Amino acid sequence: MTDTVLEVRNLKVAFPCPGGVIRAVEGIDLTTKKGECVALVGESGCGKSVTAFSIMKLLRTPPSVSRIDKLQLDGQDLSHLTERDMERIRGKEMAMIFQDAMTALNPVMTVGKQIDEVYRRHGKLGKREARRQTVRALELVGVPEAKSRAKSFPHELSGGMRQRVLIALAFACMPKLIIADEPTTSLDVTIQAQVLDVLKVMQQEHDVSALLITHDLSVVANMADTVYVMYSGKIVERAPMRELFTAPQHPYSLGLLASVPKLSDEKQSFVQIPDTVPHPMHKPSGCYFHPRCSSSSDRCERHMPRLEVGANDRQIRCWHPLHQERET
């Protein structure tokens, strides 16, 4: 018996384009356990969403070309499943919460009906029982007057309420895995915190495994158990959340942490990582982060470091890892 829920081994995704190939994901491994919240963090364009879509098998081929050595959900091999098989698995065994609820929801169907459908299709419930469950699900995610709100169309709800509807929809069949791709980026800060709270409570109460994708480390601070830091298509560090925050080993992780403003800092100043992520078609030689890294050496310019496994299951891809506690 193992408590591993998701196991991804050596996922590679490329997009052949006129003038070259975009190597969006370059051989990543990722594991989530039952009840664990795993965060995948990195700047825009580093391959987070492509990873998420690949796990859900929602990437279209073409334009993408991908290969994977292992894709398992709760011991079941998904890599060889057909689209028809995947339709049974999505929504039932794994569900995704998207950034933009307005495009994720059907604009011409009431939100209640959209959740009813999940209960009817995957839970095999009758019409009345499905609606009863829908109202309960909306109540659980904090939608007030759930019975009447269920009759609203998506555009009649606020952004925060729509995101709660997406959470209710994702949890409707109690999947084994929830993937949330920037679930709160489109919301303002206070609503963001409320929605994250709902997501956290639902995930913990139901012991569901979650993969939370974000570019903002402050989002994962209160939620994640484990953090994977991704840079330009590769995992550069993996660590328990607390360890990453107190003692990051990759200079990129440190840069991401330094760009989160501290409450104790009166001037609310924050440090930016210099420059930007390399163009995906023209990645630098050696370590992809070296042009932006203050610890860069000749070796970094020439050779890509391997992802080394260290103590406490930490992983680090760096020739000059940091070994200092960080002031938090």
Ligand X SMILES: Nc1ncnc2c1ncn2[C@@H]1O[C@H](COP(=O)(O)OP(=O)(O)OP(=O)(O)O)[C@@H](O)[C@H]1O
Applying CB under 6 A, the residues found at the interface with ligand X are: 15, 22, 24, 42, 44-50, 63, 215, 280
The nearer residue to Mg ion, 150 or 180, going by C-beta atoms, is 180
CB of 11 to Mg ion, least distance (A): 15
Query: Minimal CA–CA distance to 241: which of 267, 264, 214, 262?
Result: 214
H or E stretch including 266? none
CB of 48 to Mg ion, least distance (A): 5
The nearer residue to ligand X, 35 or 291, going by C-beta atoms, is 291
Structure tokens at 199: 């997501």
Q: Considering only the stretches 41-49, 100-108, 146-154, 224-232, report the one whose residues sit in contact with Mg ion under the rule CB under 5 A.
A: 41-49
Task: Mark 78-87 as b/e (b = at least 16 C-beta within 10 Å).
Answer: beebeeeeee
DSSP-assigned beta bridge partners for residue 180: 97, 212
Structure tokens at 256: 């991401």
Query: Minimal CA–CA distance to 283: which of 45, 42, 54?
Result: 45
3-state DSSP helix/strand/coil % of the chain, to nearest 5: 35, 25, 45
15 contacts which partner out of ligand X, Mg ion, none, CB within 5 to 8 A by kind? ligand X
First to last CA, the chain: 38
The nearer residue to ligand X, 22 or 198, going by C-beta atoms, is 22
CB of 12 to Mg ion, least distance (A): 18
Rounded Cα distance, 130 and 137, in Å: 10
CB of 216 to Mg ion, least distance (A): 12
The nearer residue to ligand X, 133 or 184, going by C-beta atoms, is 184
Query: Minimal CA–CA distance to 235: which of 60, 38, 15?
Result: 38
324 contacts which partner out of ligand X, Mg ion, none, CB within 5 to 8 A by kind? none
Site string for Mg ion, 45-84 (x = CB under 5 A): ----x-----------------------------------
CB of 23 to ligand X, least distance (A): 9
Which residues of this protein are in contact with Mg ion, per CB under 5 A? 49
